[in-house]
Structure 1
Amino acid sequence: MITVAIAEDHQSLIDGIELLLKYEKDYTIIGVANDGEALIELVEKKQPQVILTDIKMPKIDGIAATKIIKKKYPHIKVIAFSMFDQDEAIKNMIKAGASGYLLKNSPLDQLLLAIKTVHLGGTYFDSSINLDLINEGAVISETKSILSKSETEILKLIGQGKASSEIGEIRFTSVSTVEKHRKNMIRKLGLKGKGELLRYALEKKYDFE
C-alpha cells in the first residue's frame, strides 16, 4: 500500500483525486492540505510515502515546501502537480527535490503510474513535457575530472530524461552496463540514489565536449 498526501488549494480538485483513488487498492490518501504550511505539518505528523503537491499555494508555495520536506525527510517522494509546464517551474521543482512533474489534466492512469514510479525510486514526468528543451545546455559542471567519458555521456542522457533501456539502445550496450554506470556515478558524486542523478544533471551546468 502506497500512502499519499495531497497539497492543493482547490478543494474540488482534492475531492476529485480522492474519488479517483478511492477504489484503487494499492493507494491510500492519508491526508490533504490546502497550503504549503499545512502540508509541512501534515508530513511531520503522518510521513506519507508520496506527496502530490501544487506549486502555487498560499503561505508557502510548493517549491519552498518541497525543499523543507526533502531536507528533513529525504526518503519521502514528491510529485509536482500543476496547471503549468513552464521550464523554469519544472527545473525549480526538480532542484527542490521533486521526483516527478504531472499536469493537472493528466488521465488517471498517468497519475497512478507517476505515484508508483517515484515510490519505487524512479522519476516520472508528464508525457507532454519536453525534457530535452528543459535540459538544453544544462549538463554537469565539475564532474569532468571525476567521471569517465562513458559516465559523463550517460549522465547527460539521464539529464534528458532517458531511461536505462533507452540509454542502452542509444549507446548500443546492455541495460545492466548502464545500471552499473549509474551506481558508479552515485558513489563518485556522493548521491543517495537514482533519482538524484537527474536532479544533479539539471542543477549543474557544463558543456561536455
Structure 2
Amino acid sequence: MITVAIAEDHQSLIDGIELLLKYEEEISIVGVANDGEALLTIARRKQPKVILMDIRMPKIDGIAATRIIKKELPHTKIIGFSMFDQEDAVRQMIAAGASGYLLKNSPLEEVLTAIKQVVAGETYFDAAINLSLFSKDAKQPSKKQLLSKSEREILTLIGRGKTSSEIAAIRFNSVSTIETHRKNIIRKLGLKGKGELLRYAIEKKYDF
C-alpha cells in the first residue's frame, strides 16, 4: 500500500486530489494538512511513503518542511506541488530532497503518475519545467524519467515499428487511448510530431 499525505493550503485542491486517489486500491491517503506545522505532525505520526508538498504554506513553508522530513524520515518521498516553476523554487526543493515537482495547473492524473514513479525510486518532473534549470550538481531528471511506465512501454513498441492499432491490441487498450499516450509523450519530450517521435524511439532503443 502506498500511503500518501497531502500538504496544501487550498482545501478545494485537496478535495480534488482526494477524489482522484480514492478509487486507487493501492493508494491510501493517511492525512491532509493546510500548513507546515500540521504536516510535520502527520508525517511523524503516520510516516507516509509519499508527501505531496505545497511550496507556499503558512507557519512552515514546503521547502523547510521538506528539509526537516527528509532528515527525520529519509525514506519518505516528497513531490513539490506549486503554481510556480521559477528556477529558485525548483532548485531549492531538489536541494531539500524532493524526488519530483508538479505544477498545480497540470492534469490531476499527473499526480497519480508522479506518486507511482517516485515510490518506484524514480524522479518525476512536470513536463512544463525546463530541465536546463538544473545544475550539474543537482539530481537532474532524464527525459526517460518524465514518462510514466505505460508511456515508456508504448515508446518501446513505437521504436519497434508498431502502429497504434498494433500497440492497442498488445496492451488491450483502445486506439484512442494509445493516441492520447502518443500526444503526451510528444509533449513531455518536447518533440514536434509523430515522425520525430518515431525517430526518437528508434534512436533511443528503449527496452523496458
Give the structure 1 partner of residue 5 of structure 2: 5
Kindly report which structure 2 residues correspond to 1:34-183, keeping only aligned pairs within 5 A, or say none: 34-132=34-132, 134-135=133-134, 138-140=135-137, 159=140, 161-163=142-144
Residue 160 of structure 1 and its aligned partner are, at CA, apart by 5.6
Gaps of 5+ in 2: 146-151, 153-199
TM-score, normalising length: structure 2:
0.67
Q: Secondary structure at the match of 2:122?
A: coil
- CA displacement, residues 32-82 of structure 1 (integer Å, 9 cap, x when unaligned): 011011111100100000000100000000000000000011000000011
CA distance in 1, matches of 2:20, 2:136: 38
Q: Name the Cα RMSD after superposition.
A: 2.5
CA contact (8 A) 2:124 2:141 kept: no
How far 1:159 moved relative to its partner?
A: 2.7
Equivalent AA in structure 1 for residue 136 of structure 2: V
Distance 1:173 1:18, change over 3 A: closer
Query: Which residue pairs with 1:182 in the alignment?
Result: none
Deviations 1:116-147 (A, max 9, x none): 00011110000111112x02xx224xxxxxxx
Looking at structure 1, the residues matched to 117 and 65 of structure 2 have their Cα atoms a distance apart, in angstroms, of 21
Amino acid at match of 1:21: L
Quote how far apart the aligned CAs of 1:106 are: 1.4
> Take 1:160 and 1:95, find their aligned partners in 2: how far apart are those partners?
13
Higher relative contact order (CA 8 A, sep 6+): 1
**Distance of aligned partners of 1:160 and 1:52 in 2 relative to their CA distance in 1, 3 Å threshold:** closer
* Secondary structure, counterpart of 1:106 in structure 2: coil
2:80 is paired with a residue whose SS is strand
Letter of the structure 2 residue corresponding to residue 5 of structure 1: A
Retained in 1: the 8 A contact 2:7–2:34? Answer: yes
Between the aligned partners of 1:19 and 1:43, the Cα distance in structure 2 is 21
Q: Kindly state the Cα deviation for residue 100 of structure 1 after the two structures are TM-superposed.
A: 0.2
- Secondary structure of 2:28's match? strand
Structure 1 residue runs without a partner (length 5+):
141-155, 177-209
Tell me the secondary structure at the aligned position of residue 128 of structure 1. Answer: coil
* Matching residue of 1:145: none
* SS state at 1:159 partner: coil
Identity %: 63
- TM-score, L = length of structure 1: 0.67
Deviation (angstroms), 1:163: 3.6
* Cα distance, 1:139–1:44 mapped onto 2, change above 3 Å: same
Which residue of structure 1 lines up, in the alignment, with residue 159 of structure 2? none
Secondary structure of the residue aligned to 2:95 is helix
Tell me the distance in 2 between the aligned counterparts of 1:49 and 1:28: 10
Opposite residue 91 of structure 1, the aligned amino acid is R
* Cα distance change, pair 174–23 in 1 and its aligned pair in 2 (3 A): closer
